Amino acid sequence: MPQDYRFSFGPWNIHEGADPFGPPVRAPIPFHEKLPLYQELGFEGVQFHDDDAVPDLNDLTAAQIADQAKEVKTMLDDHGLVTELVAPRLWEDPRTIDGAYTSNDPDSRAFARERSHITIDIANILDTDLIVLWLAREGTYIREAKDSTKAVDQLVEAINDMLAYDPNIRIAIEPKPNEPMDQSYIPTTGHALALAYMTDDPERLGVNIESAHAILAGLDPADEMGFALARHKLFTVHLNDQNGPKYDQDKAFGSVNLRRAFNQVAVLERNGYGQNGEFVGLDVKAMRTQKAEVAVKHLRNSRATFLRLVELVRSLNDVAVQECIARRDYEELDALILNHLLGVS
């Protein structure tokens, strides 16, 4: 088994099974009980929302937040885990109902900036320089509600503010075309990277590409990753799978379309992803039907699928592939790939 990849996930990947139409079906597992599961499942990186690390942080003083973050850091050390990233959760507070950085209300925008500073403080204590921005409510339900041009400036200003607040952080934008909004301002990798290059320090900006988000946008996740990798902008990934452009499903990696997963692994592997410390991050949900005692199999399975696909990428007959390409015989190449995935030659 290839062992040269490091894996991560966020504690929200072990969840209670609630969906928009039904309540939780599994008891919540406290954070300290999730931590031992990481190594058991083969993971060493933890992804956090700011309030995964410090719950109810809006009600705490800066000193209290720092104390709690330090406790979490000690817990991680005790379990041999490291923090990969921290993301401000800007979509649940009443003040961010109409968006955070692009809210029409200046008080909401100020709250979002302040909260982002707190996220950065927590990241420093947890010893990571990587901040992820999923711009969840930065968009509209109706086009007339906001000014799309102004929104771009507001997003650039908010990012510049974070870059200035801490000269060491890097920011990975996680694009998603819809949900919870019906239109988001940063729907694709192209939008995210264009925004990155509008900021004061594009070097410190990159993307977090989630397979399902690309599929929701009608795009191929491997090509989205390739676009970012071409300029060393793939700071992290959220691998998962998605059955069509429907609601966000966060299915286990490769579970819908194995070939699409193979191509994501191939583009990562061939571009040296991971060799500069990048993690293979997952953003997967167990099926709601899954009983509590077996509700982490989606993580174990996704990791195992990734590693099996790494082996398949490495064992692909590249000479035969190149011969097909040279002859422009893509039907033969198609068969070659399918047979390789099927384990027949």
* The pair of three-digit structure tokens given for residue 222, joined into one six-digit string: 């491997």
Which has the closest alpha carbon to 248: 212, 285, 197, 202? 212
Which has the closest alpha carbon to 159: 126, 189, 187, 186? 186
Scan residues 62-121 and list those touching ligand 3MF (CB under 6 A).
87
User: Of 52 and 283, which CB lies nearer to Mg ion in the complex structure?
Assistant: 283
Among the residues of the chain, which ranges form H helices? 31-41, 50-53, 62-78, 106-126, 148-165, 189-198, 211-216, 221-229, 258-270, 297-315, 318-327, 330-342
Question: Which three-class secondary structure state does DSSP give residue 134?
Answer: strand
Distance of CA 151 to the CA centre of its chain: 23
Binding mask 6-35 for ligand 3MF (x = CB under 6 A): ------x-----------------------
Q: Which of 50, 52, 121, 283 binds ligand 3MF (CB under 6 A)?
A: 283
User: Of 224 and 248, which CB lies nearer to ligand 3MF in the complex structure?
Assistant: 248
User: Of 43 and 125, which CB lies nearer to Mg ion in the complex structure?
Assistant: 43
Establish if 238 lies at the interface with Mg ion (CB under 5 A): yes
Minimum CB separation from ligand 3MF for residue 344, in Å?
36
Scan residues 209-238 and list those touching ligand 3MF (CB under 6 A).
210, 238
The catalytically annotated residue of 49, 238, 298, 340 is: 49
161 counts as catalytic:
no
Q: Following CA atoms 73, 75, 76, 79 in sequence, which dihedral angle do they give, to the nearest 10 degrees?
A: 160
Minimum CB separation from ligand 3MF for residue 117, in Å?
17
Minimum CB separation from ligand 3MF for residue 87, in Å?
4
Scan residues 170-229 and list those touching Mg ion (CB under 5 A).
210
Residue pointed to by tokens 């921290």: 86
* The pair of three-digit structure tokens given for residue 47, joined into one six-digit string: 């992804």
* The pair of three-digit structure tokens given for residue 274, joined into one six-digit string: 């991971």
Q: Report in angstroms the alpha-carbon separations of 273 from 236, 238, 270, 278, 309.
A: 9, 13, 8, 7, 15
Measured distance CA(137)–CA(88) in Å, rounded: 12
Q: Which stretch binds Mg ion (CB under 5 A): 52-60, 91-99, 235-243, 262-270?
A: 235-243
Residue 137 binding target from Mg ion, ligand 3MF, none, CB below 5 to 8 Å by type: none
Measured distance CA(258)–CA(131) in Å, rounded: 30
Measured distance CA(14)–CA(229) in Å, rounded: 29
User: Of 151 and 172, which CB lies nearer to ligand 3MF in the complex structure?
Assistant: 172
Q: What is the Cβ-side half-sphere exposure of residue 256, based on CA atoms within 13 angstroms?
A: 16
The catalytically annotated residue of 52, 241, 248, 250 is: 52
User: Of 121 and 174, which CB lies nearer to ligand 3MF in the complex structure?
Assistant: 174
Supply the angle between the helices 330-342 and 318-327 in degrees, to the nearest 10.
160
* The pair of three-digit structure tokens given for residue 189, joined into one six-digit string: 């990798």
Minimum CB separation from ligand 3MF for residue 212, in Å?
7
232 counts as catalytic:
no
The site that binds ligand 3MF (CB under 6 A) totals a number of residues, namely 11
User: Of 169 and 336, which CB lies nearer to ligand 3MF in the complex structure?
Assistant: 169
User: Of 132 and 196, which CB lies nearer to Mg ion in the complex structure?
Assistant: 132
Scan residues 139-198 and list those touching ligand 3MF (CB under 6 A).
174, 176
Q: Report in angstroms the alpha-carbon separations of 178 from 19, 126, 166, 215, 323.
A: 17, 31, 30, 11, 41
Minimum CB separation from ligand 3MF for residue 210, in Å?
5
Minimum CB separation from Mg ion for residue 175, in Å?
10
Q: Which residues are catalytic?
A: 49, 52
* Contacts to ligand 3MF by CB under 6 A: 12, 49, 87, 132, 134, 174, 176, 210, 238, 248, 283
| Contact set with Mg ion (CB under 5 A) | 210, 238, 283
